[in-house]
Structure formats: structure tokens, C-alpha cells
Structure 1
Amino acid sequence: MALDLKEHFVKYEALVEMVDAIFSRVKTEYPKEVFCREKCSDCCYAIFDLTLIEALYIKDRFLKKFSGKPKNDLIEIADKTDRALARMKRDAFMEVRKGADELEIVGKMSMERVRCPLLGKDDLCVMYESRPITCRVYGIPTATAGKSHICGRTNFKQGEPYPTLNMDKIYTQLQLFSAQLIQDIHSTNIRMHEMLIPVSMALLTDFNEDYMGIKKNG
């Protein structure tokens, strides 16, 4: 990935720092409720996608951290994971086409468990320092589209009042970062910022100029 995205990554890292501060504050205020600890890998089996800025960031950090056999081994794992996710999404799409309730299918998908390709054999994230925002907030109460979410391993009680992180605002900011990036690189794919990319696909994708829709001189 030859693109220079440092300025965009700095903005993303500032958002990550803010999110980490929120998590730390909630953990300090509710030490008995927040269960997160080393080798608790519950969130590492959750299915979620990355915004474009997150996908570019994690791929950049992946290439800087790994090379040779370790890199190839992780790419192989990511490929297997991505194939499994593709099958699940295809099956879900077919169910909806046959008349199944879309919200019900989405709910079923959210309950599926797929091991993250970045989860090591020792149940530790091999890119913990660069993990996505979704991973960073998994152990505290969050809300998306007006619905609250809590990790099943925490001691937070559903329905009780707790500080809750509004993920819609976080996702909006990530989309804005992605849109600004697409504008700044003069991509012909003007709606590319709307992409949602699984971690596995982010590791497999070559985010080169052709992929990003950048016209070459001449």
C-alpha cells in the first residue's frame, strides 16, 4: 500500500484515544461489572465489519508488523475466515430472498461465532495495539440505533442505568474520516467511504491505487 495516509491515520488515532479513555473511565467506575482481562477472547468471535479508514489502518499496521512466514500464515487464516463469512452472508441473503424477515436474519447473524484471524493460538490478539474500535469497547455498555448492547460476560445488568457509549456517533465519525480520505486522494469511487469490510478481507485486500480508484497520470 503505497498511499500516504498519515494525516488521516492521525485523526483516526485521536478518535481511538478518546474511545480508550471512555472505556478506562467506565472500567474505573464499574470495576466489578467490566469483565475484560487478558485471554478473555469473547469479542474475538463476534462478527462485525470495519469502515474504510479502519480497514486501511489495520492493513497498514499489519504490513509493518509482519513479513515472511508469519505474514503468510495469517493471510492463509484470513482467507479461510473470509470464505466462511462469505458463505454465511450468502446463506443469509438467500433466506431474505425467500421471504425471511430481514431483521430476524440480522439478529441471527449477530449471534454467529467466527474466530478472528488475528486471534493467536494463545488466545491473545496478535495486533492488540492496533485493534479496531469495536474490539476496544466490547466490554462496556454501548448503544446502536437506539438499542443497548452489553457483553454476555460482564456483570452489567440489562435495563439498569449505566454510562453508555453511543456507537452511532462513533460510526458517523469513522464514515466522515473515510469520506474525507476518498475526497483527498481524488478517488473516482466517490461512494467508497460507504464500504464495510470484514477484518479478514482487510488483511487480504491490496489497497493499491487501482483499488482505491486513483487515476494515474498519463
Structure 2
Amino acid sequence: MLPDFSDIFDRYEALVAEVDTVFAKVAEQHPKCVTCEKGCSDCCHALFDLSLVEAMYLNKSFIENFGDGEGRSNIIIRANEADRKSYKLKRQAYRDSQAGVDTQTILENMARERLRCPLLGTGESCELYQHRPITCRLYGIPTAIGGKAHTCGKAAFEKGKPYPTVHMDKIQDRLIALSQEIADRVQSKFSELSGVFVPVSMALLTVYDEQYLGVRTPKKDAEK
């Protein structure tokens, strides 16, 4: 049986609240630049991965909000389709890397791909909006990853002008730290567990059980 992760998820939710506050502040300061509105799903076609803590939190929220009905089945079908497409894109990125294509070009090529999120419903709205990942929450305001600036193509921020910018590397460090807490709590035999990142589709499809997390059991340890 898995241990209780509720306190770790509480700290993740606290980080989410911080992120929401930052977004609201930037939107208040630059209302003409932040063009996010209901019905816009541009951010729902972006290719990105989730840390372990985010993936497990999203998975838990999915299970809690959907039973065994048609809604759940439809999301699972879309997740399977998205996961196959994501795998093909990453395989292509790997082949490009082996062929000598520089990392920046590979990232730019992947950024141009449109991969529909399995949680995007027929009404162009997120079916787990209240539990959406941090990347989704910050899409629409300036961010920086590895020192390189990014912003939504539909936003009205002008290139070259100074704007408040969220440094995603710092947020990822905090997410990895929470993921490490999960790994430590289960005494995982997988040393790389806290550094595993998966797309939304895989987060929805994965069963986060003792086997996946590499939980050490007293019986197995005794046998060794």
C-alpha cells in the first residue's frame, strides 16, 4: 500500500497558488498584452512534459473527478492517441539529434507541432481546468527557460521591451524537490524517479502503484 502523499500535494497546490497570483499580477499590470480568454485553446496544443509530482497530482484529480462513464472513456481514448503522436515526435527529435541537428533547432521544430491535449473537450475547454498543470497556468505571460524567453503567439507583448518574466527553471527545481520527496517517502529503488518527466497523456494513462514507483517492501529487503 502506498503512503499518504497529501502533504506533498498540499505544498504543490501552494506553489500553484503562487503561480496563479503571478499570472494575475502580470495580467493586471499589462491588460492589453495578456489576451487569454474563455474559448481560446492555443495553450492546449503545446508539447510539454510534467514532473512526477505534477503527473501524480493530475492522475489523482482525473480519478477523483471521473468515474467509469463515457467522459472518462473519451479522455482515455484521446490520451492514447496523443501519447502515440508524442512518442513519434520525440523519436524524430532523437533522430535529428543523432544526425547532428543542434538542440535549439530541435526544440523550435517541436514547438511548432500542434498536439491536442486529451483533456481538451469538444467545447474547447479543459475538462480538468481547476487541476491543470503549472505550464498551462503560465501560458500567456512572458516566461524564460534556460535563459531563453517565450511567450504566447496570441499575446500582445512587444519583442525587445522589458516585462515581468517567470523563470521556469526555478519552478522546475521546486517541482523536482517535491518529486524527490515522493521518491524518498516510498524509498524508491529507482534513483532516477524524481527526474522522470512525462506528457499529460502518459500522466493520465499511468497507474502510479508500488511497481511504478519502485516501492521497497520489508519482505523484499529481507530476502536480499
TM-score by length of 2: 0.94
Q: Which runs of 5 or more residues in structure 1 are unaligned?
A: none
Name the aligned partner's letter for residue 12 of structure 2. Answer: Y
Task: Measure how far apart 1:156 and its partner are.
Answer: 0.6
User: How far apart are 1:106 and its partner, in Å?
Assistant: 1.8
Q: Which residue of 1 aligns with 2:21?
A: 21
1:73 aligns with 2:74: yes
- What corresponds to 1:37 in structure 2? 37
Tell me how far 1:91 sits from its aligned partner. 1.6
TM-superposed deviation, 1:215: 2.0
**Structure 1 equivalent of residue 159 of structure 2:** 158
Runs of 4+ in 1 over 3 A off after TM superposition: none
Equivalent in the alignment of 1:173? 174
The 1:173/1:57 distance shift into structure 2, 3 A limit, reads same
Identity score, percent: 43
* C-alpha displacement of 1:174: 0.5
Q: How many residues align?
A: 218
Q: CA deviation at 1:92?
A: 1.8
Is the Cα contact below 8 Å between 1:142 and 1:148 reproduced in 2?
Answer: yes
CA contact (8 A) 1:36 1:139 kept: yes
Q: Deviations over 1:152-180 (max 9, x none)?
A: 11111111011111111111111111112
Return the TM-score normalized by structure 1.
0.96
Aligned to 2:89: 88
Looking at structure 1, the residues matched to 167 and 76 of structure 2 have their Cα atoms a distance apart, in angstroms, of: 33
Q: Secondary structure at the match of 2:123?
A: coil
Aligned counterparts of 2:185 and 2:74: Cα–Cα separation in 1: 34
Structure 1 position 193, deviation (Å) = 0.6
Q: CA deviation at 1:54?
A: 0.2
Alpha-carbon offset, residue 99 of structure 1: 2.5
Alignment check: 8 A CA contact 2:176 2:194 kept: yes
Q: Displacement, 1:147?
A: 1.1
Question: Cα offset for 1:61?
Answer: 0.2
AA matched with 1:51: S
Whole-angstrom CA distance in 1 between matches of 2:3 and 2:85: 30
Supply the distance in 2 between the matched residues of 1:100 and 1:146 (Cα, whole angstroms). 20
Partner amino acid, structure 2, of 1:47: L
Q: Partners in 2 of 1:12 and 1:29 — Cα distance?
A: 26
What SS is found at the alignment partner of 1:44? helix
Alignment of 1:1-218 (within 5 A): 3-68=3-68, 69-218=70-219
Distance 1:160 1:113 in 2: 28
Shift, 1:101, TM fit: 2.3
Q: Match for residue 222 of structure 2?
A: none
